Amino acid sequence: MPVTQKDLMKTPKKALLKGHFACAGCGSALAFRHAIGSIADEVILVVPASCASVYQGSGKGVAFNVPTVNTAFAASDAVASGISRAMKKKGKSNLKVVVWGGDGSAADIGIATEIGACDRQENILHVMYSNNVYGNTGGQRSGDTMIGARTTTTPEGNTTPRKMVPFIMMANNARYVATASAAYLEDFVGKFKKALSLDGFKFIQIDISCPPNWRCESAHSVKISRLGVQTGIWPLFEWDRMTNNVVLSTPSKKYEVVENRVPITEWTSLQGRFRGITEEEIKALKTDTERQWNFIRKFL
Amino acid sequence: MPVTQKDLMKTPKKALLKGHFACAGCGSALAFRHAIGSIADEVILVVPASCASVYQGSGKGVAFNVPTVNTAFAASDAVASGISRAMKKKGKSNLKVVVWGGDGSAADIGIATEIGACDRQENILHVMYSNNVYGNTGGQRSGDTMIGARTTTTPEGNTTPRKMVPFIMMANNARYVATASAAYLEDFVGKFKKALSLDGFKFIQIDISCPPNWRCESAHSVKISRLGVQTGIWPLFEWDRMTNNVVLSTPSKKYEVVENRVPITEWTSLQGRFRGITEEEIKALKTDTERQWNFIRKFL
Amino acid sequence: MSNEKNTAERIRLDLMIEVIQISRGGSGGVTGAKILAEAAMYEGLDAQAIPKYGSERRGAAVEAYLRFDTKPIRVHSPVYYPQHALVLDASLLDRIDVDKVDKDGVIIINSNEVPESLKGSGRTIALVDASRISRELGLILSGFTLVNMTMLGAFVKGTEIVSLDNLLKAIENYWGEKRAPKNMEAAKRAYEETKVVIA
Amino acid sequence: MSNEKNTAERIRLDLMIEVIQISRGGSGGVTGAKILAEAAMYEGLDAQAIPKYGSERRGAAVEAYLRFDTKPIRVHSPVYYPQHALVLDASLLDRIDVDKVDKDGVIIINSNEVPESLKGSGRTIALVDASRISRELGLILSGFTLVNMTMLGAFVKGTEIVSLDNLLKAIENYWGEKRAPKNMEAAKRAYEETKVVIA
Amino acid sequence: MTEGPSQPKLYPIEGVAGKTGDWRTFYPVVDSELCIKCNICWKYCPDNAIYPADREKDQIISFDYDYCKGCGICAEECPKDAITMIPEGE
Amino acid sequence: MTEGPSQPKLYPIEGVAGKTGDWRTFYPVVDSELCIKCNICWKYCPDNAIYPADREKDQIISFDYDYCKGCGICAEECPKDAITMIPEGE
Amino acid sequence: MVVKHETKTMTGNDAASYAALYAKPEVIAAYPITPQTTIVENLSRYVDEGKLDAEFIIVESEHSALAACMGAAWSGVRTFTATSSQGLLYMAENVFWTGYGRLPIIMPVVNRCLAPGWNIWPDFQDSMAFRDAGWIQMYTKNNQEVFDTTLQAFKISESKDIALPSMPCLDGFIISHTSGQVQLPTPEDAYEFIGPYSDPIIEIDVDNPWAFGAMTGPEQYSKNRKDLIVAMERAKKKIVSVHKEFEERFGRSYGNGLVEPYGDDVADLTIVSLGTIGDETHEAVDRLNEEGLNVNALRVRTFRPFPEEDIVEFAKENHKLLVIDRSASFGHAGQLGIEVEAVLKRNKVDTPVIGIIRGLGGEDVPYTKIMDDAKESLKG
Amino acid sequence: MVVKHETKTMTGNDAASYAALYAKPEVIAAYPITPQTTIVENLSRYVDEGKLDAEFIIVESEHSALAACMGAAWSGVRTFTATSSQGLLYMAENVFWTGYGRLPIIMPVVNRCLAPGWNIWPDFQDSMAFRDAGWIQMYTKNNQEVFDTTLQAFKISESKDIALPSMPCLDGFIISHTSGQVQLPTPEDAYEFIGPYSDPIIEIDVDNPWAFGAMTGPEQYSKNRKDLIVAMERAKKKIVSVHKEFEERFGRSYGNGLVEPYGDDVADLTIVSLGTIGDETHEAVDRLNEEGLNVNALRVRTFRPFPEEDIVEFAKENHKLLVIDRSASFGHAGQLGIEVEAVLKRNKVDTPVIGIIRGLGGEDVPYTKIMDDAKESLKG
Ligand SMILES: Cc1ncc(C[n+]2csc(CCOP(=O)(O)OP(=O)(O)O)c2C)c(N)n1
Ligand SMILES: Cc1ncc(C[n+]2csc(CCOP(=O)(O)OP(=O)(O)O)c2C)c(N)n1
Ligand code: SF4
Ligand code: SF4
Ligand code: SF4
Ligand code: SF4
Ligand code: SF4
Ligand code: SF4
Ligand SMILES: [Mg+2]
Ligand SMILES: [Mg+2]
């Protein structure tokens, strides 16, 4: 069920009210607006500690116009499990339980909880929006930080590869796994709605750009996300347990072929987090990108 | 470096002293004896809560004749990281830091810790011995319990597939991943020593039989493990980050072909945990086994 | 905590009776103790069955304790000075400190004959070859002869704290329709075959 | 907590001086406050720079507080009744409660002219077009004009709590050899260009 | 019925962070000549601060300056460069 | 030098669980006629309770009955069925 | 009221499981740990066998066990879990979250001491570590009280004017694994006593959305906490009234529900304690009385909220207190001892207090030992 | 002894980072959480820039942060971490493990209150929850004391006769993010003061293997705990002596290291508190004195071990105590208040105690508020 820009306009209600606390140009808020918006009348949100727990608001009220439970950093998939089971018990299985959290909870502190919920095949969707960093605490390295990125805990550049949680979830036999990008919102919302139509544990990672932590101009937010796909850094795909196959998403198809890819420096040069990146680091980053593609290719 | 039975006899010292607390016929103690024995003069053991924390002894002393640190259930890979780094700092990188724990810590409560250490490429080896159950607490379902197994928390038979931690570790870019069986000790010790020769995070899962929890005769311990391989239930393989390829281990080669496999019932019938297993459950178990093989095949 | 009164006196005075049981891990000793406590309940007594947990493994020695009283039991410690001892495996006799067992109490042993160590002790011993009875009735699990129910019959015969009927009722209740008969039979046969002797 | 003494008196009496600063998230206001505290230290004063943390985002209003004293400061609260106010962005002036600022204190504003709301208030205002100075010196980060260092010059000029020399020393120390000159220049120029007027 | 406990519970409102238009240093302006009503700008606004164009009513996009944070994405993404970012106060 | 703190630290000893031979209900016996000194039994004993055979010295395997728990693996795995499990006491 | 009873022989863990079974929770999530394990196993069995129509979530850790219950509690259904020792520590974040969030979850804690070294025997270090967390804590003395307390906990916690989670505490092994007699009401009577959870404290509602736990400033935050303080005060009365109602219906009681005095009203020495030591103390008191020593006892059944008034009243009348703790706040003293001293001080009661720590790491505390301690205290 | 000093303007977190830098830990593992974050960032930078020759482990959670430090501590090297609030709760199991295991880890806790709702401002609920865990806890009043205390902590904790981990506590934001002046000794002087960790409390040794933390029966277990109790007693003396040595070398002191009295020896009212409220109280005392009110103060610097003797001595001389807690044990009262009452009771000191709770969730506690509270107390 491909989603068009027109479809994006037909939301039951606004999920993200104006005047929220996200930074100007926040890709996470952008993705939230459309995805949660598309099912705003039947969703229950579970939000671990992250920027999303901050940009939703504070004090007077919240910008999230859907039921929202904020949880401890590592607790969200278990809380979501409890909600999903309770709703089942109450005969309200039609409600969609969605975890909306960052890479910190999904890739690091909360991954055991997430793998556990996946293992139990809980009927929930986990959306991991990744800015490749602990944004809320000011930009420390996360498991999803890529090689070469300067963060406040890797000031001279991170040396370890990205964790690639989608692969882990494939290996962990999720019902459905997909990657997405804030530059391709129709693609993202399509995957989001598809995931919600399936029973069991679904996982989507969406890379979103984050001006303060990527140290980029807010105006470049979407552009950088798009370049992430075009440089091949961030391959968009779907994987389904039923087929055990990966299907490359349209925006990424072309970039499987290395020659077709936009040079990585077009992407790095727009971001302060890559200032000072060395040739070797670029090489290592490319090698790790190829590793990811190789993993994907095994399932094509 | 293939290991022979002769090699097993040449250990620097006994790692597991006689008169330990393991049940009669314990496959975990058996595996420990040979693997840890093979490097008993240069190993540091980290043991999370598990049968291994019990069978090592209590009160008067311990049967583990190597330095051993017992840790909280979810803490072992992080403790091992700390030890490994400290030893590096002290110029003692020659010492091997090995986590020896069960499926409970490796597949469930401690998997975030483990994935974290893997992500950091810590120089440690995690050996997950799996009896597919929380043995120490009396046989509750773990993430590594297979479909159809009766445990004290799934008295009518478990319905969810095994977690397959080795796949997760492959997806998580470990340095080296292997599976092993207590029936093929030379193969196991060979993998164990190979893993220790490599830098970075290594992971081996060894399936070991557990008479009280598998509700089997202790005499059948090794036999059941062997049947696990021969029925194809437990494929033995190695995976190396450098190649991103799986190599089937000799004992398992033949069983890639479904027709060559010993009927699964020969394996289940020896185990009380499968008493009352239904046709559908057997079918589901077979399907899940095939799923595992399919995953492996992608990397052959 | 020490033996202030002998068993006969205790019963007469409505005092608590304490029992130590020794068995092998995996032989169902803990279940046996629990069933005995239930039988005592039918008898109108308050009863406690305390398994002593450690890292017991199949085959290793496991202690358990029992208390019986006409009043609510408010004591929670292990039993240090039992009136009786129940020994499910004769080879484990040396694991209990016989000197701490009341001189007037009964030591119930799964054996045909008085063990060497007790010979001439003047102790009251209840003897039964429970292993044989259990084997004959097919009470075997993974090569392990289950003497726990059988020995309950001997205990009842030896101590008379609870009646055989109540014991059988408790066994029946525990095992349920299908599996009870064999176990009840074992207890009954042991009850009949138990010989009480003075060593 | 209220203005017991006016600023001149406070200085004479060795009393603490408190300042409120308002800036936009991302404009370096917190750094500026910290540097000012360091400059005061060179002056021999005890000083505190307190950022008021919340969920500030780039562009959103952020408060910070400063304290200066000749004795060790033992007060940790936010500043409620400041002697002076430092306004890094004129449009944020309405975010502070000017009535709580000491009537004899100085309000330092990044602006060419006295804002409407203060006109005729009789207040002492220190004015400087810091944005222009910063732009001219290329103090721009991701489209954001960094006026924090510039405004420090104006603050020093307006309040005379610390000397320009000590301010420059603190700026130099913070930014290091390579990046200091531009920032010092900005402060110096602001110092020179700042006009103190009575509104 | 007893009242429930005091819990950290908040209800949805618009403008929880205030009028976030305040945060802006540049503001977007659309050139009605250039705009083709494709609504791409609308789509990419993280702050939902663009009223979409309506081809049928021949209405172009407009901005909700109360909440537009001035990120500039709309200007950057507009395929027709119909949006310009102007410094506040100019 | 000050003494260290009281910590839960234990040192290696043999027989920490006691003479685990006690746990046995069956004990293994080897038939020297049948044994081919392959040491497979030695390999599979979880309790390290078999003294291996030595072909050179023409010595067959033997058991450490102090610690053999009687699991029966050796008997089950012996390719020559050279080991028999005998009930204790018989 | 005449109700039907049935007496069964069961362990303390069985007793907790029966209370849960009868309360019909709709979602249960738990993770095994010795000596709590059999509770989890019982409940899995009830659900697998269809005896209990609940969702049972076999989670991968205690952090998730309580988290899943929290999810269910937010959804407005009755929920239950249980844990012990390391498990309780592992879920620490959510323990506070539940208490501060006012979610009425019932979670028996089978007391076991904390590592290292590994030790599965009982002391109260685990639950004591959570005395600040906003939970009702009741320490039980035997299997019967475990059942009764767990059942009462549902009724107390789920009252809208209380809205506090409950942690019935039972000594590991000593209660959890020891079989004894427990009088059970019929499941119907038990359920009728607590009633359905039909007017939930909080309930997710897509038509009326709210966000729970978003960024909260000092003002609202401290308002929430002050309400928690007040709710704890109210809980004291509620515990007493539910306990009284229970007594009227089922004929069993434990003092007034907060404290259980034993022996004469006035004595030379009062032994104050928690849990099974409290039961064992009754034995000691009788024997000391037989020896002609004038000793009585006060078992603190409810530790949170702390029954200040009741302790003070009792202490006033007596001549000396001996407080026995089965845990320690290292670097100071036993937790119960400290708090008893504090309330006496606060209320200007002169009765001297002697605090001792016994039974750490599962060391046995027989009545003989308590008698010795009492004699020692009478001397001093 | 004359030592070189340099005064710098820095935040409290910077001060903690400097102390760590100067102590030269060999392994550091930490996980970010507001408001502790900048400590982690500073240390990463020191290591990345080569200023500090240490292994920095960027772990995936706080449970692992402390676990990694424990691994290093078992290996016999100096180690350091820091955390706050939820992070402290998430590592709860290892916090107890470290304390009970007697591993000399230094871990500043930047105090922040506990969710829900999310709230990053300071109160002491987080560290207070670990007052049983076998850690030395010192609450600091300003940036300078953070540096001094963290440095002292290494020397205290790593003494073989102490062998207890240390948790220097600093109010989040109020100290952690506020810049102020800190006198720093030279790195060499600082290092010389604490010395190298050359005779480790415990050290993994392949030639002399042991197992740490295996199954432990009640006897050895309670022996370990009793030694912990005794070590805490010894720690009081050690804190005083290290503090004295520090004073002699560097010229700064905080009372005797355990408590810091302020004002006249005898007063109508003594204000007892922890952390920055203690500093703010000094301001209040001066102003109250100016108003002619006879008030003094006692700041409890060391909360674990609890300085019973010092508090009692001081309380004896004074006429009334006002104890201000920045945390509560819900269902009873403020933790400091309870314990002060307890020790006075224990030592038969009649001085009345008034306990109040202030500043939960980061509510500001200005000296004016303290003055009001004091006046109120003087009346009552
Ligand atoms: C147990 C625990 N540790 C640390 C924190 C502090 N913390 C809150 S959000 C966060 C980072 C979140 O990063 P991510 O999940 O990537 O989301 P983002 O902020 O980037 O949106 C951290 C470390 C916490 N809340 N709880
Ligand atoms: C936080 C925590 N939760 C639960 C436990 C209880 N526990 C100890 S070992 C164990 C099961 C171990 O299972 P596994 O890892 O498979 O090892 P096995 O016992 O089967 O050898 C459990 C649940 C614990 N020690 N800590
Ligand atoms: S820090 Fe990044 S992810 Fe967080 S709100 Fe700002 S832009 Fe969005
Ligand atoms: S329970 Fe199983 S794994 Fe544990 S010691 Fe016994 S046989 Fe080995
Ligand atoms: S993106 Fe440009 S052309 Fe399209 S609607 Fe917006 S302003 Fe008009
Ligand atoms: S500038 Fe940014 S916030 Fe404003 S309308 Fe354009 S996209 Fe939206
Ligand atoms: S396995 Fe059999 S044949 Fe081989 S050495 Fe052992 S007893 Fe002899
Ligand atoms: S019976 Fe088992 S324990 Fe005994 S020697 Fe054979 S293999 Fe070893
Ligand atoms: Mg992130
Ligand atoms: Mg296991």
Question: pLDDT category, D14, cuts 50, 70, 90?
Answer: low
Q: Tell me, using a 6 A CB cutoff, whether residue F83 lines ligand 7.
A: yes
CA distance E16 to chain G (A): 12
Question: pLDDT category, D10, cuts 50, 70, 90?
Answer: low
- What is the per-residue pLDDT across G151-210, written as a single tens digit (0 to 9) for each? 999 999 999 999 999 999 999 999 999 999 999 999 999 999 999 999 999 999 999 999
Domain assignments of chain C as residue spans, ordered by start: 3-198
CA distance A57 to chain D (A): 9
Report whether pLDDT(C141) > 90.
no
Element spanning F35, H or E? none
Q: What integer pLDDT is reported at residue F1 of this predicted model? A: 46
Q: What integer pLDDT is reported at residue H4 of this predicted model? A: 81
Residues surrounding ion ligand 9 at CB below 5 Å: A 102-103, 131, 135
Query: What's the mean per-residue pLDDT of chain C?
Result: 90
Contact assessment for residue G277 and residue G370, using Cβ atoms and an 8 Å cutoff: yes
> Facing residues of D108 across strands?
D86, D126
Interface test with H, best of G62, G128, G221 (most H CBs within 10 A): G221
Beta-sheet pairing, C106-110 with C84-87:
parallel
Ligand 10 center to residue B103 CA distance, Å?
A: 5
Cis peptide, bond prior to residue H122, ω within 30 of zero: no
Ligand 6 atom 7 nearest Cα: E45
| Closest residue on chain H to B15 (Cα) | H209
- What is the per-residue pLDDT across G20-78, written as a single tens digit (0 to 9) for each? 999 999 999 999 999 999 999 999 999 999 999 999 999 999 999 999 999 999 999 99
Query: What's the mean per-residue pLDDT of chain G?
Result: 97
Protein residues whose CB sits closer than 6 Å to any atom of ligand 1: A 49-51, 73, 101-105, 131, 133-137, 142; H 32-33, 62, 86-87, 90
Q: Which residue has the tokens 């010292």?
A: B13
Residue ranges and CATH numbers for the domains of chain H are: 5-203+215-250 (3.40.50.970), 259-379 (3.40.50.920)
Question: pLDDT category, C1, cuts 50, 70, 90?
Answer: very low
CATH for the stretch A5-297: 3.40.50.970
For residue A23, give the ligand nearest its CA.
Answer: 3
Query: What's the mean per-residue pLDDT of chain H?
Result: 97
Mean pLDDT of B115-138: 97
Nearest 10 degrees: Cα torsion G71, G77, G80, G86: 10
Q: What three-state secondary structure class fits A218?
A: helix
Q: Which atom of ligand 3 is nearest to the CA of A54?
A: 5
Q: What angle do CA H109, H110, H111 make, to 5 degrees?
A: 100
Mean pLDDT of D91-95: 91
Residue D35 CA to residue D58 CA, distance in Å, equals 20
Burial class (CB within 10 angstroms; exposed 0-12, middle 13-18, buried 19+) of A259: exposed
Query: What's the mean per-residue pLDDT of chain B?
Result: 97
Residue H70 CA to residue D91 CA, distance in Å, equals 52
Q: How many CA atoms lie within 13 A of G230 on its CB side?
A: 9
> What phi and psi values does residue G109 have, to the nearest 5 degrees?
-110, 120
Mean pLDDT of H364-371: 97
**D58 contacts in E (CB within 8 Å)?**
23
Ligand 7 atom 8 nearest Cα: F35
Contact assessment for residue B179 and residue B188, using Cβ atoms and an 8 Å cutoff: no
- What is the per-residue pLDDT across H154-188, written as a single tens digit (0 to 9) for each? 999 999 999 999 999 999 999 999 999 999 999 99
Cβ of G9 within 8 Å of Cβ of C33? The answer is no
Cis peptide, bond prior to residue G261, ω within 30 of zero: no
Q: Which atom of ligand 8 is nearest to the CA of F71?
A: 2
CA distances from C191 to B97, C134, C167, C196, G284 (A): 58, 13, 11, 11, 38
Q: What integer pLDDT is reported at residue A258 of this predicted model? A: 96
Report whether pLDDT(H39) > 90.
yes
Report whether pLDDT(H306) > 70.
yes
Cis peptide, bond prior to residue B155, ω within 30 of zero: no
Q: Which of B86-100, C176-190, D2-16, H168-182 has the lowest mean pLDDT?
A: D2-16
- What is the per-residue pLDDT across C146-157, written as a single tens digit (0 to 9) for each? 999 999 999 999
| Closest residue on chain E to G158 (Cα) | E4
Ligand 2 atom 5 nearest Cα: G33
| Closest residue on chain B to C140 (Cα) | B217
Mean pLDDT of D123-152: 92
Q: What integer pLDDT is reported at residue B248 of this predicted model? A: 98
Protein residues whose CB sits closer than 6 Å to any atom of ligand 2: B 49-51, 73, 101-105, 131, 133-137, 142; G 32-33, 62, 86-87, 90
Question: pLDDT category, B231, cuts 50, 70, 90?
Answer: very high
ipTM: 0.97
Q: What integer pLDDT is reported at residue H298 of this predicted model? A: 98
Ligand 5 center to residue E58 CA distance, Å?
A: 13
Question: pLDDT category, C59, cuts 50, 70, 90?
Answer: confident
| Closest residue on chain H to B109 (Cα) | H63
Cβ of D46 within 8 Å of Cβ of H181? The answer is yes
Touch D-B: 3+ C-beta pairs under 8 A: no
| Closest residue on chain D to A57 (Cα) | D55
Touch F-D: 3+ C-beta pairs under 8 A: no
pLDDT digit of tens for each residue in chain E (90 aa)? Answer: 467 899 999 999 999 999 999 999 899 999 999 999 999 999 999 999 999 999 999 999 999 999 999 999 999 999 999 999 999 877
Query: The domain C3-198 is classified under which CATH number: 3.40.920.10, 3.40.50.720, 3.40.50.150, 3.40.190.10?
Result: 3.40.920.10
Cβ of C142 within 8 Å of Cβ of B54? The answer is no
Residue by residue, what is the 3-state secondary structure of chain C?
CCCCCCHHHHHHCCCCEEEEEEEECCCCHHHHHHHHHHHHHHCCCEEEEEECCCCCCCCCEEEEEEEEECCCCCCCCCCCCCCEEEECCHHHHHHCCHHHCCCCCEEEEECCCCCHHHCCCCCEEEEECHHHHHHHCCCEECCEECCHHHHHHHHHHHHCCCCHHHHHHHHHHHHHHHHHHHHHHHHHHHHHHCEEEEC
Q: What integer pLDDT is reported at residue D140 of this predicted model? A: 87
Burial string for G212-243 (b: 16+ CB within 10 Å, else e) reads bbbbbbbebbbbbbeebbebbeebbebbbebb
Question: pLDDT category, D11, cuts 50, 70, 90?
Answer: low
Question: pLDDT category, H3, cuts 50, 70, 90?
Answer: low
Q: What integer pLDDT is reported at residue D1 of this predicted model? A: 37
Q: What three-state secondary structure class fits G50?
A: coil
Mean pLDDT of G250-266: 97
CA distances from G371 to C21, G149, G326 (A): 27, 28, 16
Q: What integer pLDDT is reported at residue C2 of this predicted model? A: 40
Question: pLDDT category, C7, cuts 50, 70, 90?
Answer: low
Q: Tell me, using a 6 A CB cutoff, whether residue F45 lines ligand 7.
A: no
Report whether pLDDT(C11) > 60.
no
CA distances from E25 to A24, C118, D15, D91, E42 (A): 11, 98, 39, 11, 20
Ligand 8 center to residue G231 CA distance, Å?
A: 62
| Closest residue on chain D to A214 (Cα) | D142
Report whether pLDDT(A58) > 50.
yes
- What is the per-residue pLDDT across H56-66, written as a single tens digit (0 to 9) for each? 999 999 999 99
Cβ of H227 within 8 Å of Cβ of F1? The answer is no
Question: Smallest Cα–Cα separation from G43: which of G86, G80, G70?
Answer: G80
Cβ-Cβ contacts under 8 Å between C and G: the total is 68
- What is the per-residue pLDDT across H93-125, written as a single tens digit (0 to 9) for each? 999 999 999 999 999 999 999 999 999 999 999
Residue C14 CA to residue C44 CA, distance in Å, equals 13
Mean pLDDT of C72-91: 95
For residue B56, give the ligand nearest its CA.
Answer: 4
Residue G267 CA to residue G283 CA, distance in Å, equals 16
Mean pLDDT of A120-146: 97
Contact assessment for residue A129 and residue A188, using Cβ atoms and an 8 Å cutoff: no
Residue D18 CA to residue D33 CA, distance in Å, equals 12
Residues 6+ apart with CB under 8 A from G23: G78, G80, G106, G150, G151, G154, G190, G191, G194
Cβ of B137 within 8 Å of Cβ of G33? The answer is yes
Protein residues whose CB sits closer than 6 Å to any atom of ligand 5: E 30, 35-41, 53, 61, 78, 80, 82-83
% residues pLDDT > 70 (chain C): 90
Given F12, F71, F72, which is nearest B64 (Cβ)? F12
- What is the per-residue pLDDT across H208-217, written as a single tens digit (0 to 9) for each? 999 999 999 9
Residue G102 CA to residue E24 CA, distance in Å, equals 40
E-only strand ranges, chain B: 43-48, 68-71, 96-101, 125-130, 133-134, 140-141, 176-181, 202-207, 237-240, 245-248
Beta-sheet pairing, G211-212 with E9-10:
antiparallel
Residue E70 falls in which region: left (phi positive, over 0), alpha (psi -120 to 50) or beta: left
Given G141, G178, G282, which is nearest C50 (Cβ)? G178
Amino acid at A159: T
- In a mutational test of the pocket of ligand 5, which residue from E33, E38, E68, E81 has the highest number of ligand atoms less than 8 Å from its CB? E38
Residue D22 CA to residue H177 CA, distance in Å, equals 17
Q: Tell me, using a 6 A CB cutoff, whether residue E40 lines ligand 6.
A: no
Q: Which chains have 3+ CB pairs within 8 A of D?
A: A, E, H
Touch C-A: 3+ C-beta pairs under 8 A: no
Helices G92-101 and G218-250: crossing angle in degrees, nearest 10, is 90
Q: Which tokens belong to C19?
A: 């029992």
Question: pLDDT category, D64, cuts 50, 70, 90?
Answer: very high
Cβ of B65 within 8 Å of Cβ of F39? The answer is no
Residue G32 CA to residue B153 CA, distance in Å, equals 9
**H44 contacts in A (CB within 8 Å)?**
152-155
Contact assessment for residue H3 and residue D21, using Cβ atoms and an 8 Å cutoff: no
Report whether pLDDT(D60) > 70.
yes
Q: Tell me, using a 6 A CB cutoff, whether residue E24 lines ligand 6.
A: no
Q: Which atom of ligand 4 is nearest to the CA of B102?
A: 3
- What is the per-residue pLDDT across G337-379, written as a single tens digit (0 to 9) for each? 999 999 999 999 999 999 999 999 999 999 999 999 999 999 9
